[in-house]
Amino acid sequence: MDSTGFDTWTRRRFGLGGAAAALVGLAGLHSADAKKKKKKKNKKKKQAKPDATGHLVRSTKAALDNCIADATGSIQLFKENGVEKMVVNVDGLPAHTEFDVFVIENPDSPFGFSWYQGDLKTGKNGSGSQTFIGRFNDETFVLDPGDVAHKTLHVGVWFNSPVDAQSAGCSADVTPFNGSQNAGIQALKSVPVNGQGPLAQLS
């Protein structure tokens, strides 16, 4: 239907004059444009597909303590301009609890060289997510005083407090895995991919 037909139909349908009918028609066009713009905006908001992924499972210590049985998580790795973005997602942990995220040499104790990335806090359902920007690829390493490179390709998540760990049914062991070196036990560890830490997937 062309604009003339539309105006005629609008006047007959709503008993409107020409000017009013034109306004109704314009309102309809504006509404359609707004919907299109909203659709495009929502499309842009969708996160890009990760370049690599990994899994987090309950730590060996937590399994021995028979606690946080439903704890799980995932790692999403994205290539950026000169750096990488690592998104750590967790689920099945105690609600409203703080955790500390590290990249580590070994997924289990002894963890070897470990690099503190930052904090992650769970919400009311025991899930949480945090994004870190840095070097998270097959060249991620730490040099010891003897200039020996130690690859830190795994990810570990620790209770920020021994009290929080104990409240979750875990042991109250004190570990150095937070900024004050008085954290709780390891809660989650990364699963090897092709025999290496998940960060090794990106080159």
- Domain carrying residue 19: 3-45
Same domain, 162 and 88: yes
Same domain, 19 and 58: no
Asked if residue 155 lies in contact with residue 149, where contact means CB atoms within 8 angstroms, the answer is no
| Tokens coding 26 | 């314009």
Q: Distances from the Cα of 3 to the Cαs of 20, 25, 28, 29, in angstroms? A: 14, 8, 12, 11
Q: What is the pLDDT of residue 23?
A: 46
Q: Which DSSP string do the residues of 38-66 spell out, in sequence order?
A: HHHHHHHHSPPPPSEEEEEEE-HHHHHHT
pTM, 2 dp: 0.78
Q: What is the pLDDT of residue 175?
A: 98
Q: What is the pLDDT of residue 147?
A: 93
DSSP conformational letter for 180: T
Find the CATH number of the domain harbouring 111.
2.60.40
Same domain, 109 and 69: yes
Residues of the chain whose pLDDT is less than 70?
A: 1-47
| 3-class DSSP assignment, residue 14 | helix
Domain count, the chain: 2
Same domain, 89 and 40: no
Asked if residue 162 lies in contact with residue 184, where contact means CB atoms within 8 angstroms, the answer is yes
Residue-wise pLDDT tens digits, 76-118: 999 999 999 999 999 999 999 999 999 999 999 999 999 999 9
Phi–psi pair at 147, nearest 5 degrees: 60, 30
- Residue 35 zone, left/alpha/beta (φ > 0; ψ -120 to 50; rest): alpha
Q: What is the pLDDT of residue 68?
A: 98
Phi–psi pair at 160, nearest 5 degrees: -70, -20
Same domain, 41 and 56: no
Same domain, 88 and 130: yes
Same domain, 76 and 123: yes
Same domain, 41 and 76: no
| 3-class DSSP assignment, residue 86 | strand
Same domain, 32 and 127: no
Same domain, 67 and 155: yes
CB atoms near residue 135 (< 10 Å): 16
Number of H helices, E strands in the chain: 4, 10
Same domain, 108 and 40: no
Same domain, 87 and 183: yes
Q: What is the pLDDT of residue 82?
A: 93
